[in-house]
Structure 1
Amino acid sequence: MNDLSHRARYEARLNRVLDHIHDHLDEPLDIDRLAEIACLSPYHWHRIYQAMHGETVAATVRRLRLHRAAGYLANGSMPLAQIAERSGYSSLQSFSRTFRAMFGMPPAQYRKRGTHSRFRPARSGDHEMVMREVVIRDVPAMQVVTVDHVGSYMQIGKAFDALMGWLAARDLLCPEMRMVGIYYDDPGAVAEAALRSKAGVVLPRAVEVAAPVSVTPLRGGRYAVLRHTGPYADMAAAYQWLYGEWLVQSGHEAADAPAFEEYLNNPKDTAPSDLVTEICLPLV
């Protein structure tokens, strides 16, 4: 670490905190333990964290737990009381109140009628099949600065946090960069613990990298692009619709290359219902 700036050293310490938070979302928030992991004074470290990450550590934990809870609701049948407990709430009522404030509806209603419900198979007289515009677009080849992630796609934020810390430590964050996630495996065919993905950014210029950061090429060519507005928890339903309904009826064929997502706004300062993601499926 001798070659890193003072800011980079702080980023490295706080990245250890973020890693711990991602890996221990089911456990109570222990401020003193996080200060110990950061190797910073318990009197001051949370102020440093907020100044560098734009939110308090409590807000980070709450945001990550609620996004994960939305995934449980959209993609499974876990009981609400169990989701509330895993999200750190002592009662279903307090969980429902906080979830509603973030997602605009209580968890039971979200499970039935959240934005993921738009991707259910169409039925006669069913008005849920809306906003199904897929655009065929020529995408240029890209060199993406990436950090690898193995495990649940819903936890790729851990890799993004590590990447953002690496970029910030080298003064490489800029308004022109584009946020990209690359996904290699089908969650329906590969065990969750073995799913491979990469958190990435496209920068306006080439940069030198070293582990754990690498440069990953993305193929250029034709892509089917589905623009989705809503929580990241909806992605599984969106993919199922894109592959299971749109692709098989479109006359197109998927190319032998991974799909990627481009994130057009930031979950730290954007309501889940307003998150905009473009799902890009490569075509032959």
Structure 2
Amino acid sequence: MKAALQNYQDRMRRVLDHIDRHLDDDLDLDTLSGVAAFSKFHFHRQFSATFGLSVHRYVQLARMKRASHQLAYGDAQSVTEIAMDAGYDAPDAFARAFRQRFGQSPSSFRTSPEWEPWLVAFGPLETARSKLMQTTYTTNDVTIRNVPRTKIAIMEHRGSPETLRATIQRFIAWRKAAGLHPSTSPTFNVWRSERRPVSPADYSVDLCVGTDQPIAANGEGIKAGEIPGGRCAVLRIVGYTDNLEPAALYLYRDWLPASGEEARDFPIYCQRLSFFPEVPEHETVAELFLPLK
């Protein structure tokens, strides 16, 4: 029974992987039921029963999430191009669907996104993915590495996690203006609180970019700092790197007690090596660093 259940879940997981890899393709029922090797007459009910939403809605949400990231964090594509990428034949149809989900037009969202309705809209997508997409880590996934000291520019986020994406948007705009592209200037997040503290106001994370440039006075409150060098336990995460809490919990709960190591007096942090939507979500990569004595 356990082996049969695992096989069933693997087939469903294969469908989610296929959707994320082929958002620009025709993702009809025949195609996706074939990926899962299930009968097309039952697949839509099996999918809904497993993930809590229909295949059609899952595909819509996945495409709309990519579109919203392209609007908020990028300026290379026009609204019309983003609408076409999201599977809409005309910009006005995309605009109506976008406004219905987020309460804003695409143009308004690009200029000044309201993130609270955005988080609510994509709750079902994240819930669906969390059912079968959790990664199980082992000691073989962790390496101990001596990392160099890195000078950084820091934008602090202090306050509710619900407003973090607005800070990220400001951070991206600032680093673009400063000429600090992710391909040449590494990106770090330093966590100074739990992901979900008892009081949301206590949430604290530093958004950082590696740079040797002097930090001039600026309206965004960017300040200079550094990530100290030294030994670190490093866990590499591939795919769906928005939530690194499960990986951090593995390091603290499982790996650290069994390793005989002691944590050093610096917060856990990550380096983000690739970014959605520049790459599909399942191809995003981050490395999590637990500083050691």
Please point out which of 214, 233, 242 is paired with 2:223: 214
- Deviation, 1:222, is 0.7
Given that 1:153 and 1:197 are in contact with CA atoms closer than 8 Å, whether structure 2 keeps it comes out as no
Name the residue aligned to 2:277.
Answer: 268
From 129, 132, 135, give the equivalent of 1:118: 135
Q: Aligned partners of 1:228 and 1:152: how far apart in 2?
A: 25
Letter in 1 for 2:232: Y
The structural deviation recorded for 1:193 is 2.7
Task: Give 3-state SS (helix, strand or coil) of 1:277's partner.
Answer: strand
Q: 1:252 maps to what in 2?
A: 261
Say which SS state the counterpart of residue 244 (structure 2) adopts: helix
Match of 2:153 in 1: 145
Q: Secondary structure at the match of 2:156?
A: strand
Count of aligned residue pairs for this structure pair = 193
Contact 1:230 1:272 in 2 (8 A): yes
Check 1:174–1:244 CA distance in 2 against 1; reply closer, same or farther (3 A cut): closer
> Contact 2:158 / 2:203 at 8 angstroms: preserved in 1?
yes
> Which amino acid in the other structure matches residue 174 of structure 2?
W
**Per-residue Cα deviation, 1:26-72 (whole angstroms, up to 9, x for no partner):** 8511457x39xxxxxxxxxx6xx7xxxxxxx9xx889x94xx5xxxx
Q: Distance in 1 between matches of 2:258 and 2:278?
A: 37
1:178·1:201 contact (CA, 8 Å) conserved in 2? Answer: yes
Residue identity over aligned pairs, in percent, reads 21
CA contact (8 A) 1:152 1:195 kept: yes
Superposed displacement of residue 112, structure 1? 1.9
Cα offset for 1:142? Answer: 1.5
- Structure 1 unmatched runs, 5+: 1-13, 16-25, 36-45, 50-56, 69-85, 89-94, 120-128
Give the AA of the match of 1:202.
Answer: G
Name 2:172's counterpart in structure 1.
164
In structure 2, do the counterparts of structure 1 residues 191 and 177 end up closer, same or farther at CA, with 3 Å as the change threshold? same
User: For the Cα contact (< 8 Å) 1:160–1:200, is it kept in 2?
Assistant: no
Instruction: Describe the superposition over 1:58-115 as per-residue Cα deviations: whole angstroms up to 9, x where unpaired.
Output: xx889x94xx5xxxxxxxxxxxxxxxxx207xxxxxx97xx5xxx9xxx53x23211x
Task: Report the RMSD for the aligned CA atoms in angstroms.
Answer: 3.4
Query: Is structure 2 residue 208 aligned with structure 1 residue 182?
Result: no
Letter in 1 for 2:259: S
Mapping 1:53-72, distance limit 5 Å: 65=118, 68=119
8 Å CA contact retained: 1:145, 1:203? yes
Q: Is contact 2:180-2:209 (8 Å) kept?
A: no
Paired with 2:241 and 2:262, the residues of 1 have a C-alpha distance of: 26
> Normalization by structure 2: what TM-score?
0.56
- CA deviation profile, 1:173-192 (whole Å, cap 9, x unmatched): 36311011111113465533
Contact 2:270 2:287 (C-alpha < 8 Å) held by counterparts: yes
Deviation at residue 164 of structure 1 after TM alignment: 2.0
Matches within 5 A, 1:231-242: 231-242=240-251
Corresponding letter in the other structure for 1:160: I
SS in 2 for 1:169: helix
Gaps of 5+ in 2: 1-71, 74-100
C-alpha contact 2:152 2:211 (8 A) present in aligned 1: yes
Q: CA deviation at 1:249?
A: 0.5
Larger Rg: 2
Change beyond 3 A, Cα 1:225–1:156: farther
CA contact (8 A) 2:196 2:203 kept: no
Residues 1:131 and 1:273: Cα distance change in structure 2 (over 3 Å): farther
Match of 2:104 in 1: 29
